[in-house]
Amino acid sequence: MRQASTAACKQAAGIIAPVVDFKRCEGKGDCAVVCPEDVFEIRRIDDADYDNLGMLAKFKLRVHGMEVAYATNADACRACGLCVSACPERAITLARVR
C-alpha cells in the first residue's frame, strides 16, 4: 500500500467513503492510480449493477469495455479527494458512512 501524506488526508479511515456512479464511470482507472490508500479496483461491472442501469448507460459501458471502478477497500478511505479530482467523468463523490 502506498503511504498518504498526513496533510492530504482529512479524516480517519472509515468515516468517509467514495461512491462511484456507474452511469458515468468509464473504468479509465485514474482514481486507482492516484489513491494513496488503494481503495479502488477496476474490473468488469457486476451483472446486478449492470442490470440496474438504463439503456443509454448500458450502451456507454459496452463501448468502454464493460469496466468500472469499484471501491473495494472503501473502509480505508481517508477523504483526501484525489480520486474525485482525477476522475475525468466526474463519477466519484465522497459521502459520510452511515
pLDDT by residue (tens digit) across 14-65? 788 999 999 999 999 999 999 999 999 999 999 999 999 999 999 999 999 9
- pLDDT category at 71 given cuts 50, 70, 90 is very high
**Residue 3 clears pLDDT 60, i.e. is over it:** no
Q: Is residue 6 part of a domain?
A: no
Question: Letter for the amino acid at 56?
Answer: L
Q: Is residue 80 part of a domain?
A: yes
Domain of 37, CATH number, reads: 3.30.70.20
- Domain range for 58 is 16-96
**Total of domains in the chain:** 1
Of 27, 22, 39, nearest in space to 80 by CA: 39
All residues at 6 or more sequence positions from 46 whose CB lies less than 8 Å from its CB, including other chains: none
**Residue 8 clears pLDDT 70, i.e. is over it:** no
Where are the strands (E) in the chain, listed by range? 16-20, 41-44, 67-70, 92-96
* Distance, CA of 21 to CA of 27 (rounded, Å): 11
